[in-house]
Structures are given as structure tokens and as C-alpha cells.
């Protein structure tokens, strides 16, 4: 068990240069205290489709399911809270059809006796910063990020791509499209560490290097957040919201999650992430050296899926095996059918069509074959026997006609 104490958390939830504010945070701005342990920052999407309603619904839903963070959390609890939040969005859209299409991103930080749970959906981020090092940052669910990972875009090209702000994952409701969260457990937490949750509007005003340098300065947390706000007011074109949580003290050792709280499909991935963090906590503080931001190791948190019972999971496995079997057998059967069709077509052409076409195109060259009727063979033989007699008759009628067998006399 680990006991974590924080300094008073600080928040931003600003309209910026927009006409309305679609961002929501939990606790509300000015409402957080040192004893609070659950923090959310959500960026609503949908514009006229009430994105502000979606972001607020998600904050309230997670607070309700997670009981304001009073109990430890794990991937299953996050999945259940997300399920409930999506149902609440569906209910709102059912009662307000004009809100169809609304949605929101979500970032979550939960400090508890087993460390910290970080979850996110969309392009809002959570940073874990120590000194001048970003120890962890969530990976945006963006369309251009997939192109970078596939090698179709360079990181530099992604920054200026026309569709760089298009996200491919958000909380839209179960009727619209069920989503899933990336979830990770952090057990290596130390006094002085910062957790910073923010929407993409914040990152329009400050980049990662500026963020690290601001938080590493000797200013008070209030002044640090004030500088971030000032930069966003100047540069950001969007709403911008954030939560700054600074760790005061840490006592005890966190207990890593066990497979019993991890969805089965991703258990191995999550356990690997847990192992990395649990190994890090055993090192002495002096053994850690701050790295330049460019060299900070990247870490992609594992995705989770909704919990399923054993019967449903068994049926899912059977379905997957059937898909694999069909994927192997179908191409083989198709190849055999194509081969048989080709061979059969050639056989028909060679035995039934080829000779007929030849006779039609060259009737004078036709000769009796074993396939021709016996009557045709006899007629051809009679025709050939009459040829010598015909030649003799022509010679008698025209004795002056040239003959290749007659020797022309020498006139000399």
C-alpha cells in the first residue's frame, strides 16, 4: 500500500477565442482540494451537437462509478465507468435528438493506494513529469498518428497535415460507436513529481519543451499555471483546460495490478507495463538521471476491452478459430475451382471446337482422319484415284503442252 499526498491541485477551464466552452473538468475549477484523488479533463466535440453536454456527462459518470476516487481503480473499473458514461450519453441523445453526434475526449488521473491510474481517449493528454524529464505521456488517438506509425507520414509532416486534428477515437455513446480507453498503472511516484492533464487547446499555446521548462522553474505552482494560461490566451484558437497536480509526499510501496482485474485479451500487455513500473520503484532516487526530452523513452499504454464472462469469451474464441479456418480453406478451394475450370475449358476447346473451326476456315485442306465418317474417307480415295487418268486425258488433247518430264531439244 502506498500513501500519496498532494499540494492543492490547480485548474484551468477557459473559453479562449471560441463562442462557447465545450471543455469540462472534474473537480470543477476552484473546487479541488488536497484530499481529492480523482481528476478528469474532457474536450467536447460536435459543436452545435452539444459537445459541452457530452464532456460534462462523462465527468459526472466517472465520478459516480468511481465514488470520487475513494477506492483503488484498475482497468475493469475504468471499463465499467466508461460503459456507464456511454449509456448516459445514449439516454441524453434519446431525450434530445438534436444532440445526435455529440461526443468528447477524456483524460483521467486517479491517485490511490496502488499508485496512479492513468486513462485516456482521444487527443487530450496526461503527462507525468519529473524535473526536466517527461517520464510518461499518453499517445493521441489521431488519424495522422496511424500514418506515422505505418511509415506513410513523417512526424514533421504530421504536424502540418490538413487532417492533423482529426481524432479516430472518442466517447460517442454505445449506440453511436462504443469506445475503449488506454489504461496504465504508475507505481514509481515521487515527491515533486507533476501530473498534468490537458486538452489540445493547451498544446496550441505551449509545446512540450516549454511545458517542461515552466514546471521546472522555481516559481510557485500558481505562477507556473498562470504563465501557461497567458501563452494560451495569446496563441490558442480553442477552448483550453488543464489540471496541475503536484505530489507532496509518497510513503509505502504500491501493489501492481493482478490479472484478475485485467481484461483477458490484453492481460499480457498490461502485465508488461506493470513490470516496467514495479522494477523502476526498486531503484534508489540517486540512480535516476534526467534525460533530454528528445531522448525520453516512449511508452504506449495498452488498450482495454469491456469485461466478458467465460461463456461469452469461449464463444468468441470459437468464432475466431472459425474465421481463421475459413480464411485458409476458402482460398484453397477457390484456387482448385479456378484450375479445374481452366483445364476443363482447354479440354473442350481442343476436342470439340478446334477441329470444327479449322474445317470452317480451310475446307480445301481438310483431310480424312480417324474421326471422319467412313463414307467421307471412301469419297476422298476415289477422288485421288481419278487424278492420273485426268492428267493423261489432258495430255492427249493438248500434245504441245509442256511436260516437266520432256527434254527440250538443243537448237544448236
Output 16 or 381, whichever has higher pLDDT. 16
Q: Which residues pair with 185 in a beta bridge?
A: 117
Answer with the residue of higher pLDDT: 222 or 151: 222
Q: 378-394: b or e for each residue (b if 16 or more CB lie within 10 Å)?
A: eeeeeeeeeeeeeeeee
Q: How many CB atoms within 10 Å of residue 139?
A: 15
* Tens of pLDDT, residues 356-397: 666 666 665 555 454 455 555 555 655 555 555 555 555 555
Please state, in angstroms and rounded to a whole number, the distance separating the CA atoms of residues 140 and 122. Answer: 6
Q: What is residue 264's predicted lDDT score, i.e. its pLDDT?
A: 46
Compare 271 and 222 and report the one with higher pLDDT: 222
What one-character-per-residue DSSP string does 201-240 give?
A: HHHHH--HHHHHHHHTSSS-HHHHHHHHHHHHHHH--S-E
CA distance 238 to 130: 28
pLDDT for residue 283 is more than 50? no
Mean confidence (pLDDT) of the chain:
78
pLDDT digits (tens, 9 = 90+) for 336-357: 888 888 887 777 777 777 666 6
Q: Which of 33-37, 166-170, 231-235, 280-284 has the lowest mean pLDDT?
A: 280-284
For the stretch 301-345, pLDDT in tens is 333 333 333 444 455 445 555 655 666 777 788 888 888 888 877
CA distance 54 to 28: 15
pLDDT for 398 beyond 80: no
**Per-residue CA distances from 249 to 54, 128, 192 (Å):** 35, 15, 8
Q: How far is CA 19 from CA 23, 45, 48, 105, 215, in A?
A: 12, 14, 11, 19, 30
Specify which residues 110 forms β-bridges with: 38, 117
Query: Is the separation of the CB atoms in 171 and 121 below 8 Å?
Result: yes
Task: Please state, in angstroms and rounded to a whole number, the distance separating the CA atoms of residues 104 and 85.
Answer: 11
SS3 labels along 46-96: CHHHCHHHHHHHHHHHHHHHCHHHCCCCCHHHHHHHHHHHHHHHHHHHHHC
In the prediction, which pLDDT does 34 show?
Answer: 94
- Do residues 56 and 24 lie in contact, with contact meaning Cβ atoms separated by under 8 Å? yes
Pick the range with the lowest mean pLDDT from 23-27, 269-273, 361-365, 368-372: 269-273
Instruction: For domain 2-307, give the CATH superfamily.
Output: PPM-type phosphatase domain (3.60.40.10)
**Distance (Å, rounded) from C-alpha 63 to C-alpha 40?**
9
381/136 Cα distance (integer angstroms): 99
pLDDT in the model for residue 275 = 34
Task: State the Cα–Cα distance between residues 325 and 323, nearest whole angstrom.
Answer: 5
The model's pLDDT over 41-69, given as tens digits with 9 standing for 90+, comes to: 999 997 667 899 999 999 999 999 999 88
In this model, does residue 159 exceed pLDDT 70? Answer: yes
pLDDT digits (tens, 9 = 90+) for 198-211: 999 999 999 999 99
Best mean pLDDT range from 16-25, 148-157, 160-169:
16-25
pLDDT, tens digit (0-9, with 9 covering 90-100), for 87-135? 999 999 999 999 998 999 999 999 999 999 999 999 999 999 999 999 9
For residues 21 and 275, which has the higher predicted lDDT (pLDDT)? 21
pLDDT of residue 60: 97
Helix (H) or strand (E) holding 150: helix 143-150
**Domain extent listing, the chain:** 2-307, 368-393
Q: How far apart are CA 177 and CA 220, in angstroms?
A: 43
User: 185 in helix, strand or coil?
Assistant: strand
Start-to-end CA span in the chain (Å): 136
What are 37-48's pLDDT values in tens digits?
999 999 999 766
Predicted local confidence at residue 15, as pLDDT: 94
Give the whole-number percent of the chain exceeding pLDDT 90: 50
Which tens digits make up the pLDDT trace of 227-245?
A: 999 999 999 999 999 999 9
pLDDT band of residue 412 (cuts 50, 70, 90) is very low
pLDDT at position 338, please?
A: 85
Please enumerate in sequence order all residues whose Cβ is within 8 A of that of 3, keeping only pairs 6 or more positions apart, or say none: 113, 249, 250, 251, 252
Cα–Cα separations (whole angstroms), residue 195 to 39, 226, 276, 324:
10, 16, 19, 44
Distance between CA atoms of residues 123 and 139, nearest Å: 8
Amino acid at each position: 500500500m502506498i500513501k500519496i499526498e498532494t499540494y492543492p491541485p490547480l485548474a484551468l477551464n477557459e473559453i479562449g477565442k471560441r463562442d462557447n466552452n465545450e471543455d469540462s473538468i472534474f473537480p470543477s475549477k476552484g473546487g479541488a482540494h488536497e484530499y481529492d484523488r480523482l481528476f478528469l479533463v474532457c474536450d467536447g466535440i460536435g459543436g452545435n451537437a452539444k459537445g459541452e453536454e457530452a464532456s460534462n456527462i462523462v465527468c459526472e459518470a466517472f465520478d459516480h462509478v468511481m465514488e470520487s476516487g475513494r477506492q483503488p481503480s484498475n482497468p475493469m473499473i475504468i471499463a465499467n465507468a466508461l460503459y456507464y458514461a456511454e449509456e448516459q450519453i445514449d439516454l441524453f441523445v434519446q431525450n434530445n435528438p438534436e444532440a445526435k453526434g455529440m461526443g468528447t475526449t477524456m483524460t483521467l488521473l486517479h491517485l490511490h493506494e496502488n499508485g496512479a491510474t492513468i486513462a485516456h481517449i482521444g487527443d487530450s493528454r496526461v503527462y507525468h513529469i519529473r524535473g526536466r524529464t517527461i517520464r510518461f505521456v499518453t499517445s493521441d488517438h489521431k488519424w495522422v498518428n496511424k500514418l506515422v506509425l505505418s511509415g506513410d507520414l513523417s512526424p514533421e509532416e504530421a504536424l502540418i497535415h490538413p487532417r492533423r486534428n482529426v481524432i479516430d477515437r472518442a466517447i460517442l455513446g454505445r449506440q453511436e460507436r462504443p469506445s475503449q480507453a488506454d489504461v496504465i498503472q504508475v507505481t514509481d511516484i515521487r515527491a515533486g513529481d507533476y501530473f498534468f492533464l490537458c486538452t489540445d487547446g493547451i498544446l496550441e499555446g505551449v509545446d512540450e519543451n516549454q511545458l517542461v521548462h515552466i514546471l521546472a522553474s522555481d516559481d510557485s505552482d500558481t505562477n507556473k499555471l498562470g504563465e501557461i494560461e497567458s501563452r494560451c490566451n495569446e496563441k490558442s484558437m480553442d477552448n483550453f483546460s488543464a489540471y496541475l497536480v503536484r505530489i507532496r509526499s509518497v510513503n509505502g510501496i504500491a501493489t501492481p495490478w493482478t490479472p484478475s482485474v485485467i481484461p483477458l485479451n490484453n492481460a499480457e500487455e498490461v502485465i508488461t507495463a506493470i513490470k516496467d513500473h514495479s522494477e523502476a520503484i526498486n531503484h534508489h532516487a540517486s540512480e535516476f538521471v534526467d534525460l533530454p526530452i528528445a531522448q525520453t523513452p516512449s511508452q504506449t499504454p495498452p488498450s482495454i476491452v469491456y469485461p466478458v464472462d467465460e461463456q461469452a469469451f469461449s464463444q468468441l474464441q470459437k468464432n475466431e478459430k472459425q474465421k481463421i479456418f475459413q480464411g485458409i480453406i476458402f482460398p484453397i478451394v477457390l484456387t482448385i475451382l479456378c484450375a479445374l475450370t481452366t483445364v476443363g475449358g482447354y479440354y473442350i476447346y481442343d476436342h470439340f471446337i478446334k477441329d470444327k473451326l479449322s474445317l470452317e476456315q480451310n475446307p480445301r485442306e481438310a483431310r480424312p482422319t480417324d474421326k471422319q465418317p467412313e463414307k467421307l474417307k471412301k469419297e476422298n480415295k476415289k477422288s485421288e484415284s481419278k487424278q492420273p487418268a485426268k492428267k493423261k486425258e489432258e495430255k492427249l488433247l493438248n500434245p504441245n503442252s509442256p511436260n516437266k518430264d520432256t527434254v527440250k531439244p538443243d537448237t544448236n
